[in-house]
Amino acid sequence: MADATVPLTKSGFDPAALATRAAIIVAVGVLATAPFWASRADLRMLMEALSFLALAQMWNLLAGYTGLISVGQQAYVGLGGYLFFALAMFAGIPVLWAIPLAAGVAALIAVPVGWLAFRLQGAYFAIGTWVIAEVFRLLAAQFPALGGGSGISLPVALAKSIAQTRGGRETVMYYVAFGIALLSVAGVWLLLRSRWGLALTAIRDSEPAAASLGVDVRRVKFMVYIATAAGTALTGAFIFLQKLRITPEAAFSVTEWSAFVIFIVVIGGLGTIEGPILGVILFFALRDLAADWGTWYLIGLGTIAIAVMLIDRRGIWGALRARGVPEIFATRRVLK
């Protein structure tokens, strides 16, 4: 293994790097102009896909780099959604400000919750987080002001405060989704290239080795847990702004916000930034294809996830990387 630092600015001509850079710019450009070319249905689908991308990046950051397998991140999707509704409806916070604020409050709540969850290790942590998400779901149903078990809708006046016309609202909401997704990808990328990234990569490769290098493994994991809780809640707040209605079942759905998200990350490729992106594209393509399959679609999805674990647990991107496809988001400082 040779140590080599990836230069931040590339000197010399590298066609592969130029091509990937061009591809990123084109992709971001196409997405950034979507309200001008996409149909209303496409725009809604894109918003949903961008939300899933953000959720997938958060789960990937947690599981792929710190090894914390959570089956309970729906706790923060739902918490973000409910906090957003509460802040916007009862605290009078402007709708677009209520979204980041909900994420901030969720991060605060994640501190004691994380303390509790961290008392469990490995697979027990996974199920423990699920119990906590269930507690959140059952508690949400106990607040009559938030609609109790049957849920609540966002008042029309609040929705209209974003923009008067439906088209205008959808454009604004699209850019919120676009911003959140961009933030999740860029945030994870920058985090991994920072001093923290070294610690995270060390933890991913070997926890004992990281600890022997002086990394405070527990603290780093906890900080990442809080950060992903905030990112997940941010996305959750947006998701329920887009849906305009929230119920405990929808907000804390394990299938929607854990199973789908985990399958996206794992099928795409865990522990890479490209994996979740690829996973989201595949997931939505498959969903489009299987629109009429009903339960068979879910059976198929579960089967694919199992197949990935049996055939190549690095996922599609990991398998492509092993066959020489270059990294798009260079985060590694050490070349293997």
Partner 1 sequence: MDILNLLIQGTLLGGLYALFAAGLALMFGVMRFINIAHGDFIVVSAYLLLVAVLTLGLHPLVGIALVTGLMAGAGYLGQRVLLNRVLDEDILPPVLVTFGLSIILQNALMEGFSADSQRVPAGGFDTASLSLGSEIAIGLLPLSMFLAAIGVLGVLHWIFFHTHLGRLLRATADDAAIVPLMGASNAHTFALATGIASAVVAIAGTMLAMKTNFDPTIGPSRLLFAFEAVIIGGLGNIWGVLAGGIILGVAQAIGAQIDAGFQILAGHIAFLVVLALRPRGLFAKS
Near partner 1 by CB under 8 A: residue from 27, 90, 255, 335: 255
Structure tokens at 180: 């959140």
Cα 187 to Cα 212: distance, rounded to the nearest angstrom: 27
Q: Residue 35 or residue 275: which is nearer to partner 1 going by CB?
A: 275
Instruction: To the nearest 10°, report the CA torsion of 82, 88, 94, 97.
Output: -20
Question: Number of residues in contact with partner 1, rule: CB under 8 A?
Answer: 42
Sign of torsion over alpha carbons 200, 208, 270, 233 = negative
Provide the minimum distance between the beta carbon of 295 and partner 1 in the complex, in angstroms, as a whole number. 4
Near partner 1 by CB under 8 A: residue from 302, 312, 325, 326: 302
DSSP one-letter string for 266-322: HHH-TTSSHHHHHHHHHHHHHHHHTTT-THHHHHHHHHHHHHHHHH-TTHHHHHHHH
Contact letters for partner 1, residues 148-167 (x by CB under 8 A): -x------------------
Is residue 96 at the binding interface for partner 1, with CB under 8 A as the rule?
Answer: no
Q: Residue 56 or residue 71: which is nearer to partner 1 going by CB?
A: 71
Is residue 138 at the binding interface for partner 1, with CB under 8 A as the rule?
Answer: yes
Q: Residue 182 or residue 259: which is nearer to partner 1 going by CB?
A: 259
Cα 183 to Cα 186: distance, rounded to the nearest angstrom: 5
177: CB partners within 8 A, 6+ apart = 46, 47, 50, 51, 238, 242
287: exposed, middle or buried (C-beta count within 10 Å: 0-12, 13-18, 19+)?
middle
Is residue 187 at the binding interface for partner 1, with CB under 8 A as the rule?
Answer: no
- The stretch near partner 1 (CB under 8 A) out of 37-45, 95-103, 120-128, 226-234 is 120-128
Provide the minimum distance between the beta carbon of 313 and partner 1 in the complex, in angstroms, as a whole number. 6
Near partner 1 by CB under 8 A: residue from 142, 205, 209, 245: 142
SS3 324: coil
Q: Residue 46 or residue 61: which is nearer to partner 1 going by CB?
A: 61
Near partner 1 by CB under 8 A: residue from 25, 289, 306, 325: 306
Name the residue with tokens 């992903």.
228
243 phi/psi in degrees, rounded to 5: -75, -25
CA dist 10 → 3, 244, 321 (Å): 17, 46, 21
- The stretch near partner 1 (CB under 8 A) out of 141-149, 213-221, 281-289, 328-336 is 141-149
Near partner 1 by CB under 8 A: residue from 4, 19, 25, 116: 116
Provide the minimum distance between the beta carbon of 116 and partner 1 in the complex, in angstroms, as a whole number. 6
Provide the minimum distance between the beta carbon of 69 and partner 1 in the complex, in angstroms, as a whole number. 5
89: CB partners within 8 A, 6+ apart = 152, 154, 155, 158
Cα 187 to Cα 172: distance, rounded to the nearest angstrom: 22
Q: Residue 33 or residue 303: which is nearer to partner 1 going by CB?
A: 303
Sign of torsion over alpha carbons 69, 222, 137, 78 = negative
Is residue 319 at the binding interface for partner 1, with CB under 8 A as the rule?
Answer: no
Confirm if 8 and 16 have CB atoms less than 8 A apart: no
Provide the minimum distance between the beta carbon of 68 and partner 1 in the complex, in angstroms, as a whole number. 10
Structure tokens at 103: 């994420």
Q: Residue 46 or residue 141: which is nearer to partner 1 going by CB?
A: 141
Near partner 1 by CB under 8 A: residue from 69, 183, 282, 290: 69
Is residue 198 at the binding interface for partner 1, with CB under 8 A as the rule?
Answer: no
Is residue 262 at the binding interface for partner 1, with CB under 8 A as the rule?
Answer: yes
Q: Interface residues with partner 1 (CB under 8 A)?
A: 63, 67, 69, 71, 116, 119-120, 122-124, 126-128, 130-132, 134-135, 138-139, 141-142, 149, 254-255, 259, 262-263, 266, 270, 295-296, 298-299, 301-303, 305-306, 309-310, 313
